[in-house]
Structure 1
């Protein structure tokens, strides 16, 4: 499926905030297999994620993400801190932010939703299931949901 918006080809921008190289490779593989045209940007810690989103320093020309896939267990600034900053920023708060993490603790789930995460998904350990989960997240946000226009 190719997505057209106002008769123009739409390339969806995805920001993956993940410090695990294996999970990054699996996400890349999953995104190559989906039929939604996308461009994946990857940052590996919370400080870098916020620099990317605010287009600071080397990220001055970074694309505005249409979707953020955010791990909670990150160096420098954890995912909850990043999520809080995203959802408290009037220029970023409408970007759908999906938590994709190994933590299944009730505390992390509740805290994430209290900080306005759009969804919370525990990473499957099985490789094929992990790829299927990433595909389903992206397909849902880009083919089922109506997203607000980007700034």
Structure 2
């Protein structure tokens, strides 16, 4: 069952170090019109700490999706993907890479590390709303997402 089929908001982990992009992404999802709870961290270390806490917690927010920038301080996005891929507790978490890189090698490496989608950040702030609507249309309204242990 998709998260929008229940009354619970969609729970997203946003891993993004640029405060301006955080604001644009949060506004994009808000303008898409579905209830979203954002858990935001600014680097790969904080993302992995959050995920490890999430995976071992008896209670706490269940995550529906993770939006991951690749270019992060400390632990980078590729290392975060690799850790998720190799952790049975986290491997089913859908990860959408949302980054400024259009490099073919970044796209290929992201999919090799089991990213579920690769989205390039738009350069036009208004185009972020299109990303929010696209994620809602597919990942929230259409796709059946796994339950990630919490």
Same fold, TM exceeding 0.5? yes
Determine the structure 2 residue equivalent to 1:147: 145
Aligned residues between the structures: 145
> What is the aligned partner in structure 1 of residue 32 from structure 2?
34
User: Does the 8 A contact of 1:17 with 1:46 survive in 2?
Assistant: yes
Q: Which runs of 5+ in 2 are unaligned?
A: none
For the 8 Å contact 1:36–1:142, the answer to whether it is kept is: no
Which segments of 5 or more consecutive residues in structure 1 lack a partner in the other structure?
Answer: none
Name segments (4+ residues, structure 1) moved above 4 Å.
59-62
Q: How much is the aligned-residue C-alpha RMSD, in angstroms?
A: 2.0
Residue 62 (structure 1) shift: 5.1
Aligned to 1:4: 5
TM-score (norm 2): 0.88
Q: Per the alignment, in what secondary structure is the counterpart of residue 3 of structure 1?
A: helix
Secondary structure of 1:129's aligned partner: helix
1:35-78 deviations in whole A, cap 9, x for unaligned? 3221011000000000111118xx99752311000000000000
State how 1:8-23 maps to structure 2 within 5 Å.
9-23=7-21
Residues 62 and 52 of structure 1: CA distance in aligned 2, closer, same or farther (over 3 Å):
farther
